[in-house]
Amino acid sequence: MDLSYGAEYEAFRDEVREFVAAHWSREDARNPERITAFRLKATEAGYLYRNIPRRFGGSEQPADVLRAQVIHEEFTSARAPMEIYGNGVRMLVPTLLECGAPWQQEQFIPPTVRGQVDWAQGYSEPGSGSDLASVRTRGELVGDEWIINGQKIWTSRAHECRYMFALVRTEPDAPKHQGISYLLLDLHQPGVTIRPLKQITGQSTFNEVFFDDARTPLDWIVGRRGEGWQVSRATLKHERTGIGNAETYLEQFAKLLNVARSATRNGRPAIEDPIVQDRLAEIEGYLQAHRYSTFRQLSMSLAGKDPGPVTTMNKLVVTNLGHMIAALAQELIGDASLLLPVYEPGHKVGDERWMNQFFGSLGIAIAGGTSNIQRNIIGERGLGLPRDQTGGDS
């Protein structure tokens, strides 16, 4: 058992560190041109877009989870920009690489990778949450165009996106899963209306998108008619390959400790309160278990071994962790939990910032399939129990 990365990777780490030191400084962060230039250099050096072919703007490196991890660590610690973050790079590009037509790959991947366009995800609808395959947004082929009518919801940052990839029902008479196509469409057109969706935190990071005779060309379809469900599964597969990351929760726990140190209970620092200590240690048990569990999963993946059912559990595990941390934080901050964190100029946000974490932990339990769907997946794919009616996407 060896928690270090080994000599080869430490040498690689030195190389990456030197590269970053040579090409990036903190002040660059305020200069969009410098950021773009750095990304280009880092891609040429083989550090970014590693699984994307060179002809589409990637660096086309052999898969190597540890190198990716080293790059992530070094870039993050220098606060250097990594890949463009968004649904385009994260979901559409892998899908196009796997299922897209050559012209689609050529036309869409390079500008997406360069950050010139981003994509909105058009999956969820008001009536289709966990039962995604029940989408009702219709697409009708009229001449050489798809005419699209309906509504999508939970579309993040739709305002800032040029395009959308969407699940659209094009074969209304086919069985549920066989009647969907995976269409690409331009959001900058009269038939599309975008409305921000205010969340319970008061912020608006999601949108509703309405289609009223929106149009897209005949060949802006990925895969064939009626194959959209399968195509979207490919995307989800990519989304889910990420092994549960414990870093976020380690950071949250460190912040939780700080709150416990600054808060008081019965006139003493809360962290000296036996109840608080007990709950912190309980949370840390879950946290360190998950942390080393991710190391184990990573190590096994590196060795080409199957980590087993635990991979189906990561989401529920971190959902529970987030909930435990948020619940304790809410108690520790005391009366600050009576306040809504308001991010406005001139307004100082104090401990009430934890209320965003408090609501966020609920949002995580809901987003991307509720925890009940996760429990189905664990029960069926993880434990081998029989499917029931909500087998969902398994």
Partner 1 sequence: MNFDLSAEQTALQDSVGRLLQNELDQVRLLEIFDSEDGHDARLWQALGELGVLGLMIDERHGGTGLEMLDAAVVTEMLGYHGAPGPYLGHVAASLAICWSANDAQKERWLPRLATGECLGTVALAESDAAWQPNEWRLAGPTALNGTKRNVLYPAQADVMVVGVAGGELMLVENPAETVEVTPLPSLDATRRIAHVAFRDTPAAPLSGSAERLRDALLVLLAADAFGGARRCLDMAVDYALTREQFGQVIGAFQGLKHQLANVAADIEPARALYWYAAHAFDAVPEDAQRMAALAKAHVTERFLHAARECTQAHGGIAYTWEFPLHVWLKRAVFDRMYMGSTSMHRTRVAELSGWALAG
Catalytic residues: 239
> Which one of the spans 30-38, 41-49, 219-227, 292-300 is the region binding partner 1 (CB under 8 A)?
292-300
Q: Which is nearer to its own copies, 91 or 263 (CB)?
A: 263
Consecutive H or E run containing 152:
strand 145-156
Should residue 274 be labelled a site residue for its own copies when binding is judged by CB under 8 A?
Answer: yes
Nearer to its own copies, 241 or 372 (CB): 372
Decide whether 191 or 334 has the Cβ nearer to partner 1: 334
Integer angstrom CA distances of residue 356 from 232, 314, 365 = 31, 22, 14
Judged by beta carbon distances under 5 to 8 A according to partner kind, the member of its own copies, partner 1, none in contact with residue 371 is partner 1
Q: How far is the CB of 158 from partner 1 (least distance, A)?
A: 15
Residues 278 to 297 in contact with its own copies, rule: CB under 8 A: 278
Q: Is 273 a binder of its own copies (CB under 8 A)?
A: yes
With binding defined as CB under 8 A, does residue 172 bind partner 1?
Answer: no
Residue 66 interacting partner from partner 1, its own copies, none (CB closer than 5 to 8 Å by kind): partner 1
Element housing 236 (H / E): helix 228-241
Contacts (CB under 8 A) with partner 1, residues 87-146: 124, 126-131, 134
Q: Which residues of 290-313 are buried (b: 16+ CB within 10 A; e: fewer)?
A: bbebbeebbbbbeeeeebeebbbb
Specify the residue, 31 or 390, whose C-beta has the smaller distance to partner 1: 390
For the chain, the farthest-separated pair of C-alpha atoms sits apart, in whole angstroms, at 75
Q: Which of 72, 82, 334, 353 binds partner 1 (CB under 8 A)?
A: 334
Contact range with partner 1 by CB under 8 A, out of 12-20, 41-49, 234-242, 283-291: 283-291
Contact flag: residue 221 with partner 1 (CB under 8 A): no
> Sign of dihedral through CA atoms 236, 237, 238, 242?
positive
Q: Which does 2 bind (CB under 5 to 8 A by kind): its own copies, partner 1, none?
A: partner 1
Nearest distance, CB of residue 37 and partner 1, angstroms: 32
Write out the two tokens for 132: 């995604």
State in angstroms the smallest separation of the CB of 278 from partner 1.
5
Distance in Å, CB of 271 to its own copies, minimum: 14
- Nearer CB in complex with its own copies: 258/390: 390
| Contact between residue 173 and residue 109 where contact means Cβ atoms under 8 Å apart | no
| Alpha carbon 251 to its chain's center | 18
Q: CB under 5 to 8 A by kind: which of its own copies, partner 1, none does 21 bind?
A: none
Instruction: Report the candidate in 158, 141, 172 with the shortest Cα–Cα distance to residue 210.
Output: 158
Using CA atoms, how far residue 117 sits from 30, 101, 158, 204, 236, in Å, is: 20, 19, 12, 21, 21
Residue 105 neighbours by CB under 8 Å, 6+ apart: 56, 96, 97
Strand partners, 256: none
Q: 298 touches which of partner 1, its own copies, none (CB within 5 to 8 A by kind)?
A: partner 1
- Indicate the helix (H) or strand (E) that contains 184: strand 180-186
H-helix or E-strand containing 28? Answer: none
Q: List interacting residues with its own copies (CB under 8 A).
A: 273-275, 278
